[in-house]
Structure 1
Amino acid sequence: MAGGAVSNSTYTSNTNTGAKPGSYLFPFILVTSLFFLWALIHNLSPVLIPHLKKACQLTDLQSSLIDSAVFAAYFLMALPAGAVMRRYGYKAGIIFGLCLYAIGAFLFIPAANSREYTFFLGALFVIASGLAFLETAANPYVTILGNPETATTRLNLAQSFNGVGAVLGPVLGAKFILSGTELTKAQMDAMSPVQMQEYLTAEAGTVKVPYMIIGLVVLVIALLFVVTKMPDVQEVADESIDTNKSTGSIFRHKHLIAAVATQFFYVGAQVGVNAFFIRFAKYSAGIPEREAAILLGWVAGLGFMIGRFFGTFLMSKVKPQILLTIYGLINVALILLAMVTKGYVAIGAVLFVPFFMSIMFPTIFSLGLRGLGKDTKFGSSLLIMSIVGGAICPPLMGLISDASNIQMAYVVPLICFAVVVWFGARGYKLDAAA
């Protein structure tokens, strides 16, 4: 996830504590590469949505199922991934996750040959299932690969590669996946059946080489994990918490339930804003798909990365809930502006949204876990599972777009950001209010 979940557990390594300085450098590089690998897939989705819509002749609702396949895999595989890690270790879980990732990438080749949309969705589900394993292991691994006093610095450095993926995903997709050929309905109607088949086959085929290369790179990284000595991750219980004390139902924490609901809506907004940007740019300003994808990478992706660091700085001066509320209000205003204007004003409004989204996931996460005591781990699991919002909101946008237009579909993220505003203003303190 681009948001980068917050971990509340403590981890140690069972390797020799007398390891030489720098002995963890290569393992750290390997683990850090995982942050880029999952960000790359997430940020190729906004390119795949318009591309497969064209190649497979889909409606907006059908094309939005690309994100649904990815986030449904996260929802379904999160608990199994954790179980595998506990039984076989984090290194084995990472290698298995990378193998799933590579298999899913290679499945794009027969999917393109068949031009069956369900085949593409299946391939994405396999990739995302692998990502669930990678994200489960990456954070704890980073924290133990070196001096415990610099664990937070290492984690921030590793998570910055999410931003690199957010920038490069759409840019690489524009260059190697999008053909740049955008035919009108009249031009397509004038084609013979043979010409139409050749055109659609050529469009579908552009994914073969990029995803084959991705699969090969992932396999190489998996092999490096196999031959590299990695420390075992062991979770240390928090002795400050009385594990024998019953605290009652998790649902008595009203602020946590509010956070779970808000995270659902936030992730839905984050995915939806980016997912349909290329279609939005074409509709509202006539921007070609390749140019729109490059804008998404270099403006929105870079803005998200810069916003994460700037927001972290602001939180040293402004309370997190206040900053969350302000950023939520700004995004409500930006989405509203994008819906009622045309041209580059509307495009600019959408492109600025990721900058203000950047602090939302970790902020909602941390506010939701405040004061949970022994319920913290279960609360964390609920917050992670709430990312299924990324599977629900894009299809709603596709449904609205098919019924009206893509610009009106942005009412979905508008509502989602309004929920974020409510949580920052009131939802985070529901228990205190009671």
Structure 2
Amino acid sequence: MSTPSTPARLENPPAGMSSTASGTRMALIAMTAIFFMWGFITELNGVLIPHLQSVFELTHARSMLLDSAFFGAYFVMALPAGRVVARVGYKLGIVIGLLIAGAGALLVLPAAQMASFNLFLPALFILATGVVVLQVAANPYVSLLGTPQRAASRLNFAQAVNSLGHTIGPYVAGLLIFSATLLSAEQLAALPAAERVQTVQPLYIGVAVALLVLAAAVYFFRLPALFEATEQADSRPHGFAEVLRLPHVRWGVLAIFFYVGVEVTVAHFMVKYVSQPTIGGMSERDASLYLSYYHAAAMVGRFVGAALLMRANPRRMLPLYAALNILLLLVTMTTLGGVAMWSVVAVGLFNSIMFPTIFTLAIERLGPMTEKASSLLVMAIVGGAVIPPLQGLFVDLFNARLGDETRALQYAFFVSILCYAYILWYGWRGSRLSGAGLPGAGPSGAGVAAAKD
């Protein structure tokens, strides 16, 4: 997500230009690794949820509590994370985020050792809290590294690497979780729950080690520690209520809520859906590969969409992409086999531009109020904690009534269709500027000019 490019300074300015360039390059390399890691971490739930659902024999609705624990951290911890970063600065904020995420990954180990589903919930909440701190700190840090003219280029590259993490995460997770022993799938299923759940431990040990190594690298390397002073541009204080009175912000917060909710929902039902006998007819391990295809499609779509948006009006592209996803979901709800499978995978292609486009439209022409609007938009990522359990509840209801899990999974996609319908409306009507209450001239964020009519 992009943030306003504002004047910045170094806490300890280097002695020469070459030192500055070297520090910037090192910082960009470190940030690239961090963006990859949080994309990777976010997608582990897509494989972890069906695995734990099978191990603990959970309902669809209860298994989605893992999503609620992870994405609920965005709502609860976004503002505290902002205060931490404001107090310690971006560099130490990034280090703290990495350490918190590493601690959360390590807490998965006793949860698995004790075979306790309930202990997985606080572990994932803490892991997600670290990711929230990284979101708050790393995005503006990348935008402030180097020249302001290339801020959008740096952020697009970082987001593409983030998408790579989303793409690789499910494949690696499926490989490690389902191949952690030399047993066949049938032999693994015959093991007690306490032994099957421990197959997640190698994955989270690796995640914890990677996060702690990155934290050490950021702390000890001479990376620029940048200050961002957007609040200094305020001629008077602006409250969150004042920001929410602007319709394109208010409806934009809801659009982010529904978008993240539907993106996570489709992803986290992907493995269970594709593995159904009349859809893909494969094991959950093999089905996890299609979750990677889903995110790979989003990564490709992000590059293509970025090129198209150089000329196209985002207020037309956003509703068009939402309409295409509605069509794809209708296809998967009414067909079986390869058509149903590939139509739901293709949803990822048209998800690609939605988050950055909604974000850009929602912060358009906000000037000094951009920072508060950005905080509200980050909090709206809590949609990933609300929509998946809601759709899971309908899966359980339909399954109890029909006695057909495949049909239940298909019919429950109506929840996702409603989310895309709102996004379509936001792009078409809700994102329009009202004029009343907008601050005067001034930059409102990277890429905002592209969002104007």
Question: TM-score surpassing 0.5?
Answer: yes
Q: Report the CA distance between 1:367 and its aligned residue.
A: 1.1
- Give the counterpart of 2:14 among 5, 13, 16: 16
- Give the counterpart of 2:252 among 226, 242, 259: 259
Q: Report the CA distance between 1:170 and its aligned residue.
A: 0.8
1:206-355 mapped onto 2 (5 Å cutoff) = 206-237=199-230, 243-244=235-236, 249-283=242-276, 284-297=279-292, 299-355=293-349
Per the alignment, do residues 135 and 278 of structure 1 end up closer, same or farther by CA in structure 2, a change over 3 Å counting?
same
Q: Report the CA distance between 1:52 and its aligned residue.
A: 0.6
- Which runs of 4 or more aligned residues in structure 1 lie more than 6 Å from their structure 2 counterparts after TM superposition? 245-248
Give the partner amino acid of 1:406.
Answer: L
Query: Matches of 1:366 and 1:425 in 2, distance apart?
Result: 15
Query: Matches of 1:261 and 1:115 in 2, distance apart?
Result: 37
Give the partner amino acid of 2:218.
Answer: F
Per the alignment, do residues 334 and 182 of structure 1 end up closer, same or farther by CA in structure 2, a change over 3 Å counting?
farther
Query: Matches of 1:166 and 1:278 in 2, distance apart?
Result: 15
8 Å CA contact 1:12–1:234 kept in 2: the answer is: yes
8 Å CA contact 1:11–1:143 kept in 2: the answer is: no
Query: Matches of 1:416 and 1:243 in 2, distance apart?
Result: 38
Per the alignment, do residues 25 and 384 of structure 1 end up closer, same or farther by CA in structure 2, a change over 3 Å counting?
same
Query: Matches of 1:141 and 1:315 in 2, distance apart?
Result: 24
Query: Matches of 2:236 and 2:52 in 1, distance apart?
Result: 53
SS of the aligned residue for 2:228 comes to strand
Q: Report the CA distance between 1:376 and its aligned residue.
A: 2.4
Matched, 1:391 2:385: yes
SS of the aligned residue for 1:304 comes to helix
Specify the alignment match of 2:355 in structure 1.
361
What is the percent sequence identity of the aligned residues? 39
Please tell me the root mean square deviation across aligned C-alpha atoms, in Å: 2.4
Per the alignment, do residues 430 and 221 of structure 1 end up closer, same or farther by CA in structure 2, a change over 3 Å counting?
closer
8 Å CA contact 1:266–1:360 kept in 2: the answer is: yes
8 Å CA contact 1:97–1:134 kept in 2: the answer is: yes
Q: Report the CA distance between 1:182 and its aligned residue.
A: 5.8
- Provide the TM-score with structure 2 as the length reference: 0.87
- Provide the TM-score with structure 1 as the length reference: 0.90
- Give the counterpart of 1:420 among 419, 423, 427: 423
Q: Report the CA distance between 1:11 and its aligned residue.
A: 4.6
Specify the alignment match of 1:136 in structure 2.
136
Cα deviations across residues 122-169 of structure 1 (Å, max 9, x unaligned)? Answer: 111111011111111112222333344433322222222111111110
Give the partner amino acid of 1:286.
Answer: G
8 Å CA contact 1:10–1:238 kept in 2: the answer is: no
Query: Matches of 2:161 and 2:26 in 1, distance apart?
Result: 16
Query: Matches of 1:400 and 1:393 in 2, distance apart?
Result: 11
Q: Report the CA distance between 1:201 and its aligned residue.
A: 2.4
8 Å CA contact 2:2–2:360 kept in 1: the answer is: yes
Per the alignment, do residues 78 and 103 of structure 1 end up closer, same or farther by CA in structure 2, a change over 3 Å counting?
same
Q: Report the CA distance between 1:398 and its aligned residue.
A: 0.9
Per the alignment, do residues 237 and 368 of structure 1 end up closer, same or farther by CA in structure 2, a change over 3 Å counting?
closer
Give the partner amino acid of 1:210.
Answer: L
8 Å CA contact 1:268–1:391 kept in 2: the answer is: yes
Cα deviations across residues 304-325 of structure 1 (Å, max 9, x unaligned)? Answer: 1110110111112210010001
Query: Matches of 1:212 and 1:69 in 2, distance apart?
Result: 20
Q: Report the CA distance between 1:219 and its aligned residue.
A: 1.1
Specify the alignment match of 1:48 in structure 2.
48
Cα deviations across residues 54-74 of structure 1 (Å, max 9, x unaligned)? Answer: 112211111111111111112
Query: Matches of 2:64 and 2:305 in 1, distance apart?
Result: 30
Matched, 1:377 2:380: no
Specify the alignment match of 2:449 in structure 1.
none
8 Å CA contact 2:90–2:227 kept in 1: the answer is: no
Name stretches of at least 5 consecutive residues in structure 1 with no aligned partner. 189-195
SS of the aligned residue for 2:311 comes to coil
SS of the aligned residue for 2:263 comes to helix
Give the partner amino acid of 2:236.
Answer: N
Q: Report the CA distance between 1:238 and its aligned residue.
A: 8.1
Query: Matches of 1:38 and 1:62 in 2, distance apart?
Result: 25
Q: Report the CA distance between 1:328 and its aligned residue.
A: 0.5
Q: Report the CA distance between 1:93 and its aligned residue.
A: 1.6
Give the partner amino acid of 1:97.
Answer: G
8 Å CA contact 1:11–1:233 kept in 2: the answer is: no
Cα deviations across residues 212-247 of structure 1 (Å, max 9, x unaligned)? Answer: 1111121111111221122222124488x6623989
Specify the alignment match of 2:78 in structure 1.
78
Name stretches of at least 5 consecutive residues in structure 2 with no aligned partner. 399-407, 438-453
8 Å CA contact 1:143–1:152 kept in 2: the answer is: yes
Give the partner amino acid of 1:28.
Answer: L
Specify the alignment match of 1:192 in structure 2.
none
